[in-house]
Amino acid sequence: MTGAEAGGPGGPGRPVSVHSARIVVPMTAPPILDGAVAVQDGRILHVGEHAWVVDQLAARGLAFTEHHWRGALLPGLVNAHSHLQYTGMAAVGQGQYDGFDDWAKAFDVEYEKPHDWRAEAAAGAAASIVAGVTSIADIVTDMEAASVLGDAGLGGVAFWEVMNWENAAWEARGRDQVVAELERIPAVPGVGLSPHAPYSLDVSPLLELPDIVRQRGLRLHLHLGESAFEGERIPTDHGERHEDWHFAGVPSFRALRELGFGASATSFVDRLGVLGPDCHIAHGVYMTAADRALLRARGTAVALCPRSNAVIGLDPPPVADYLREGSPIAIGTDSLSSSPSLDLMADVTALHRIARAQGYGALDLHERLLAAVTLGGANAIGLATGPDRIGHLAVGARADLIVFDVDARTVPDAFAALVEDGAGRASATVIRGEIRAQDGALLTKEAHD
Same domain, 32 and 159: no
Which domain covers residue 283, as residue numbers? 77-380
Reported confidence tier of residue 353, pLDDT bands at 50, 70, 90: very high
Asked if residue 11 is part of any domain, the answer here is: no
Find out whether 96 and 313 touch, Cβ atoms under 8 Å: yes
Same domain, 292 and 420: no
The bridge status of strand 219-224 relative to strand 191-195 is parallel
Same domain, 412 and 330: no
Find out whether 269 and 224 touch, Cβ atoms under 8 Å: yes
Asked if residue 315 is part of any domain, the answer here is: yes
Reported confidence tier of residue 263, pLDDT bands at 50, 70, 90: confident
Which residues fall within 8 angstroms of residue 351, CB to CB, at 6 or more apart?
304, 306, 317, 319, 331, 369, 372
Find out whether 123 and 145 touch, Cβ atoms under 8 Å: no
Determine which helix (DSSP H) or strand (DSSP E) holds 195, and give its type and residue range.
Answer: strand 191-195
CATH of residue 22: 2.30.40.10
Same domain, 69 and 145: no
Query: Of 372, 393, 331, 399, which Cα lies nearest the Cα of 155?
Result: 399
Asked if residue 332 is part of any domain, the answer here is: yes
CATH of residue 199: 3.20.20.140
SS3 content of the chain, % helix, strand, coil (to 5): 40, 25, 40
The CA distance from 109 to 130, in Å, is 30
Same domain, 58 and 154: no
Asked if residue 91 is part of any domain, the answer here is: yes
Asked if residue 48 is part of any domain, the answer here is: yes
Asked if residue 5 is part of any domain, the answer here is: no
pLDDT of residue 258: 87
Same domain, 322 and 399: no
Question: Which backbone phi and psi does 159 adopt, to 5 degrees?
Answer: -100, 115
**45-49, 134-138, 139-143, 244-248: which range is least confident on average?**
244-248
Same domain, 161 and 174: yes
Same domain, 130 and 48: no
DSSP 384-395: SSSTT--SS--T
Strands of 201-305, DSSP E: 219-224, 279-283, 301-304
Domain final residue, candidates 380, 405, 435: 380
Domain final residue, candidates 331, 360, 380: 380
The bridge status of strand 426-431 relative to strand 401-404 is antiparallel
Same domain, 88 and 22: no
For 229: left if phi > 0, alpha if psi spans -120 to 50, otherwise beta; the answer is: alpha
| Cα-to-chain-centroid distance, residue 431 | 16
pLDDT in tens, 410-420: 999 999 999 99
Domain final residue, candidates 359, 380, 401: 380
Asked if residue 112 is part of any domain, the answer here is: yes
Same domain, 33 and 124: no
pLDDT in tens, 377-400: 999 999 999 989 999 999 999 999
User: Quick count: other Cβ atoms within 10 Å of Cβ 327?
Assistant: 19
User: Quick count: other Cβ atoms within 10 Å of Cβ 251?
Assistant: 14
Give the mean model confidence (pLDDT) for residues 69-92.
97
Give the mean model confidence (pLDDT) for residues 150-175.
97
Same domain, 87 and 217: yes
Q: Amino acid identity of 124?
A: G
The CA distance from 48 to 62, in Å, is 17
Domain count, the chain: 2
Find out whether 274 and 220 touch, Cβ atoms under 8 Å: yes
Same domain, 414 and 291: no
Greatest CA separation for the chain = 79
Reported confidence tier of residue 242, pLDDT bands at 50, 70, 90: low
Asked if residue 172 is part of any domain, the answer here is: yes
